[in-house]
Chain A
């Protein structure tokens, strides 16, 4: 019997095997990373660290990009067995991003799970902050970027606030109680409350 996680060089290492949900996300990020920086947020962060609950999507922030760059991303995703809910061509999909609306991708022949790809820029203060202050987390050989744990907890408690989010936050507070820094909550709360303004 070992602890649920360890810390190695500031990376949280979760001591478990990969699930099919991890592999789905890993395959998507392998492509996305070649075109944009990213941050995985919300429910997956809790599930990755042991929360046992159903999920049908994984939320991924990425920096808003120009259409010619998005053309390449969409093409590579489609060539690697992903389809986009919003359309099959960049002309159909890009207008959603231009409106700063989220778009979703699933594996060809599947509907769920899906990746909810969330465009951000500097105007989204809280999201931009977490995006630029990532925490590394690793499961086996799959390493990815998530928000600071304290930030994720507060975002779920203050902004999202559903029963599911409150439960996710509680899981994170307890599971990571040994590494959570109380002073970070004060710092992040100010930033997160700007999201409501």
Chain B
């Protein structure tokens, strides 16, 4: 197997490895869940808790285009 250099080389490297070795999924689970937990923590801090959460979140989501105005 050639030494990975570019991002796509790494994609290829891991896809080949994972195809043959399911133990690599443990590492994937840790990385995926770590990203979800970081994201959750960040946005909880940004938007607060309780009644204000949805209104604060919606304001932010509109600003980044994830809530689009109704046509």
Contact = CB atoms under 8 A, between A and B. Distances in A.
B43 A175 contact: no
Main secondary structure of the interface of A (DSSP, over half): loop
Contact of A111 (B19, B35, B47): B47
- Please indicate which of the listed interface residues A54, A95, A163, A177 has the most CB atoms of chain B within 10 Å of its own CB: A54
Interface string A91-135: 000011001010010000111110000000000000000000000
A110 B61 CA distance: 12
B28 A111 contact: no
B43 A4 contact: no
Interface residues of B, number: 41
A174 B61 contact: no
A56 B31 contact: no
Nearest to B31: A52
A170 interface: yes
Given A109-B49, A111-B43, A111-B61, A1 B66 contact: no
Nearest to A106: B57
Contacts of B63: none
Given A50-B24, A175-B18, A21 B32 contact: yes
Contacts of B39: 56, 112-113
A171 B11 contact: yes
Nearest to B60: A111
B11 A167 contact: yes
B32 A3 contact: no
Interface of A: 1-5, 14-17, 19-21, 47, 50-52, 54-56, 83, 85-86, 88, 95-96, 99, 101, 104, 109-113, 163, 166-167, 170-171, 173-175, 177-178
Given A3-B22, A85-B61, A101-B68, 11 more contacts: A4-B25, A16-B29, A21-B36, A51-B15, A99-B71, A101-B70, A110-B40, A111-B43, A167-B11, A170-B15, A177-B19
